[in-house]
Amino acid sequence: MTAVSSVYAQRLLMTLFLVSFGIYMFLATVTYTPFDPGWMHISSDTQQVSNASGIAGAWIADLLFGFLGWASLLIPIFLFIEAIQVWWPRSFLNRPFRYAAQFFLILVVSSLLYLHWNVPADTLDNAAGGIIGYELGQSLSQLLTIYGATLFLLVFGVVLFTLAFGVQWSKTWVTLKATPSYLQDLFYKNVSPNESDYDLTTQPATKAAAVKVADNVETNANASDEKEASVQPESTQPQSTTTRHDAVAERLFADVLAKEQSRPEPVADTPVANTQNFEHTLEQAHKLERDSQRLVATGEVWRALQRDDASHKQEIDALLRAADDSTETEQVPTHEQFQQTISQVNQNQPSSKQDLHGLDWNDDEIFDELLAAVPNSKTATDVHTPFVQDHHVEAEPTSQSVNIANETSSNISNLNQSPKNLANEQVFEDFDDLLIDEDIAPTEPVRASSYAQSSAFVKAPIQTTIQADKLSKEEFIEAWQETAGKPQENADFDEDDFDFDAPLTDASGRPMSRAMQVAKKRLDLPTLPGLDLLDKVDPNKKVNFTEEQLSRLSELLEIKLQEFNVKAQVVEAQPGPVVTRFELDLAPGVKASKVTNISRDLARSMSMASVRVVEVIPGKPYIGIEVPNSAREMVRLIELLETPTYRDPSALISMAMGKDISGNPVLTDLAKAPHMLVAGTTGSGKSVAVNSMILSMLLKYTPDQLRLILIDPKQLELANYNDIPHLLTPVVTDMKDAVSALNWCVNEMERRYKLMSFLKIRKLSDYNRKVEEAIANGEDLIDPTWKPSDSATQERAPRLTPLPSIVIVADEFADMIMQVGKKAEEMITRLAQKSRAAGIHLLLATQRPSVDVITGLIKANIPTRVALRVNSKIDSRTILDAGGAEDLLGHGDMLFLGPGKIEPERVHGAFISDDEVNRICDAWRERGEPDYIDEILTPFDEEPASRGFEEGEGGSDRDALYDQCVSFVLETRKASTSSLQRKFSLGYNRAARIIDQMEENGIVSSMGPNGKRDILV
């Protein structure tokens, strides 16, 4: 291992240690809480900690906060700073003094926190600054008062801050003074789009110094005549665009060829550069141009090409000459020559204070360019590939050349900082000197662009490998002029070159309207959203029970059953996502009901939340005992939708339910159900289960195949589905509108039955197939139910089209039953009885499974039911006609009684987040807009308000006090029989007749479930 590698290894190990320890201390101090065990207080619990760094970090943080308070947060900051100092060993102060400054700075901050940090009344006085801050702050406040102590600590803290961080206030002050001028140039200068982001504004004296240094460097270099001719300063007069491009072409040609033409032929044992043709050389030159224009966009070269500024031309030529000379590693200026140049430049520097005030911080860029041109200079921005040597031997710099390079770099640094009166800093370090000594020779003569190497802005070396005698300068310039500025076929894509807000155009190039753009975008989208919108399955999913754990749990179950005088043997164990089922073979004479009666005692003895007993397992002579897993598995919807069962095209309305106890997907077809009832208490996962069913339909069926009517009394659960194209009407939140929607569904059901009877078919699927065949054969099937009064604009009956299935989803239909009473129940019952063949299906959910909500008529016509966790066995029997739902675990754990099944199946529902629902709904909104039917929300019993007055005028049965009663009702806005009795001293029968007549005339509404009437006028 070389010396350089050894130093690198030591510094790297120290950096890793300091950074790791700093992160550990940062976590320990930031997550500190006094409730963790520690030195400064008594705690009975010494193992449970909330500190992110563990028990050790909690004790360390408690010790630091006890002595230093919040000032201990500075310790990880100092550790990170020391990790940086490892790579900068020669800092402002040596290490012991810097450590001392950091230590005293922590004490100063601790004292200031004690003096000025207001701690709560129930905490200790030293909570802010710790014990040390308390003692120092109290002593100083007694000697100097609190204001004097604060002033002393602030001054002392600034001094310590300067020493600890090596702050150079003179350099900082110069930078701050230059900030207003920089901001003024940045925001108020009118810069054209082709110019750079900001201008390098330098004083004439500084620019003259840069040109002077470049001229001296060029004079001392022994370059060839052709190279000197290629980089001569051009005229300061404004030139045309062609002349300037010629000059740039000559510089590029000189940069690519001149150095190689001046080199001697390589010896036989040296690898020879590969021969490149003319096109390749031209391509390399253009690549050099593009890279320079992109990476040196803020420099002086390309600004001079775009603006006729003669002052920039001198700086360009000076920088180019300095860059060209930097590649001549065998011609290094001597120390005396640089000292003479520096003394000449210093004589031309501004002497007045006014001139120095105008210097801008951007002046350093010119000196950086010159400094990068000095050979072997450590301050150059990049370390490039070594150049081809004259003798093609391994370059071993002598100690004299290294000393000259060190002195040259130091002198240039002094020149760069002298106008600002900055403190001289040592540039080189021992480690950097070792890097200079180990210069590796190249394997083949590869040269880098001189300007790209000398520029402080260029970060990527641009290499060309050519053969000089193959090129012609005139042909090169002529070809470059023809292709300069033209786009390349393989040019890199730059987003800044394109206007993404420009309107789309059609084939003829004309801009399209907004509607056409939206339509085109929708045509480009796939018909259905992809499953990639759903959250993925956790790849780090762990197994709940191993074989050994299942064996031990089976033995434990047999032992506990024997304690209750039940002899049984575990035959099989089926681990699932939520529960594990143990199948037991009971001894002869043992009843299954005996095991059911001791289920709660068995759960208590096994230290489990609940145990469910399955008395009958279809197809097996065993009973089942389901125990909850120690860690529940989260079932994702994408697991269920990627199964072949879901993709089966024969299923009319596929819905994903979840996974059974064996982990197998459970899906059902709502068309075969044909309706579903979902019940569960708060927190059981009812809304999530409904969302998973709706999303499984949205991800498979288009609006032409399936339409939805969503009823949401809570106004929150189904609000995310607004404006999707599947909706027949906006999400219904008013229960009066819900009754109207149910009434429309009843009328639609009757209309569909008329159509199917006309075509002599019995199912909606057969109807759609027959209509599609007629359309394909060109036949016209006229709607037989159409009447001329149905439309004011249509004179002919419309053609029949395929009808979509309709799913009515009511998230909380118990609230609807409570508000509108028997009307909703009657319509739900009618739909449940007759709508299966018409393709209208109900999905009803409630969290109050009582008999007044789930009536006998509803239960009799909705055989498919889902029971999540409920509060009592009575509620479980209301849903399933059997117990067991009260022992479920909640959060999606359900008993699913599928279509045609006798016993319910235990299923764990899929989890759906709000983000998944929003992503899928947004995807459908991008594909189309909803086509609402206005008649759905029209009240089915609505009659014109004026009809009653017209028919009632002059009637022989009209009461004499009718007009007075109407005036009283309209004035008080109260319509009741008792109020009319009290006001007009009427009997009950007469007052009731007047109220009924008002209802017939459309003045008041019918009596609601709460016994009140609404005033309609």
- Going by the annotation, the residues of the binding site for ATP are 680-687
Reduced to 3 states (helix: H, G, I; strand: E, B; else coil), residue 618 is coil
Are 898 and 864 in contact by the 8 Å Cβ rule? The answer is yes
CB-count exposure of residue 618 (10 Å: 0-12, 13-18, 19+)? exposed
Give the residue ranges of the annotated binding site. Answer: 680-687
Q: What is the C-alpha to C-alpha distance for residues 595 and 579, in angstroms, rounded to an integer?
A: 18
Q: What is the C-alpha to C-alpha distance for residues 68 and 128, in angstroms, rounded to an integer?
A: 8
Phi, psi of 69 (to 5 degrees): 70, -145
Amino acid at 255: D
Q: Which residues pair with 908 in a beta bridge?
A: 659, 893
Give rounded-to-5 percent helix, strand, coil for the chain.
50, 10, 40
Q: What is the C-alpha to C-alpha distance for residues 479 and 221, in angstroms, rounded to an integer?
A: 31
Phi, psi of 636 (to 5 degrees): -95, 150
Q: What is the DSSP letter of 358?
A: T
Are 1000 and 958 in contact by the 8 Å Cβ rule? The answer is no
Are 447 and 464 in contact by the 8 Å Cβ rule? The answer is yes
Exposure string (b/e) for 712-745, b if CB count within 10 Å is 16 or more? Answer: bbeeebbebbeebbbbbbbbbbebbbbbbbbbbb
Strands 665-669 and 706-711: unpaired
DSSP codes of every residue in 99-162: HHHHHHHHHHHHHHHHHH----TTS-TTTTTHHHHHHHHHHHHHHHHHHHHHHHHHHHHHHHHH
Are 861 and 825 in contact by the 8 Å Cβ rule? The answer is no
Integer CA distances (angstroms), 563 to 556, 566, 570, in order: 11, 7, 15
Q: Write out the H or E segment, with its range, that includes residue 357.
A: helix 353-357
Locate 145 and state its tokens: 């008062």
DSSP codes of every residue in 867-928: E---SSHHHHHHHHSSS-GGG--STTEEEEE-TT-SS-EEEEPPB--HHHHHHHHHHHHHH-
CB atoms within 10 A of CB 658: 28
Locate 833 and state its tokens: 């009885």
Phi, psi of 243 (to 5 degrees): -65, -40
Reduced to 3 states (helix: H, G, I; strand: E, B; else coil), residue 707 is strand
CB-count exposure of residue 32 (10 Å: 0-12, 13-18, 19+)? buried
Angle separating helix axes 822-834 and 813-820, nearest 10 degrees: 130
